[in-house]
Structure 1
């Protein structure tokens, strides 16, 4: 795409990207929930744990879809690119498969919150 936009790489379909976004957003958010509580044994190293989760997500997902794990991070560059490059043509092309970068991370984050809640019952 350009300007740091996310798009699904050739050879990967929307479902593979969706599953990847779900899994790695779930992982990141679960690490955030579990390591950043003041009472958590890992709270002193929460930054390292969170950074490693973000690193792992990027290592795996950059070749697949550019690694979103944050819907607004995908929306912003696509919106700016649309403003810069769109003519009277089809503006939808700037947001092709964008649902993947919203559904995957949002469902992954909600699932992580649910699992965290189960852990803390």
Structure 2
């Protein structure tokens, strides 16, 4: 699928908002915890959604010109038998839309070996 040219924000701003949402959600985390992962995902999605809506709302206060959908996946890094970390994940998304106005952006937040996890975020926007 060709890369979209209709980013609602500069890619650097999208990265900044996604990183901030991830860091805020994991602020008190010390390692991967399956039970906490649901809360972390929900916090990341809620924080990023709020930031995207705020950043794209016109100055006149009218509704943002985009609809957004966000997917957050937390992947646990697992060391295999004293060897190197082993992890695997493959994900694909397809869509039919106006490539000039609509699009999708993916981002990997590396939570580092200290927390033993990575976060993969996908943001989809559709122009209204």
Shorter-chain-normalised TM-score: which range? Answer: 0.3 to 0.5
Normalization by structure 1: what TM-score?
Answer: 0.38
Larger fraction in strand: 2
Larger fraction in helix: 1
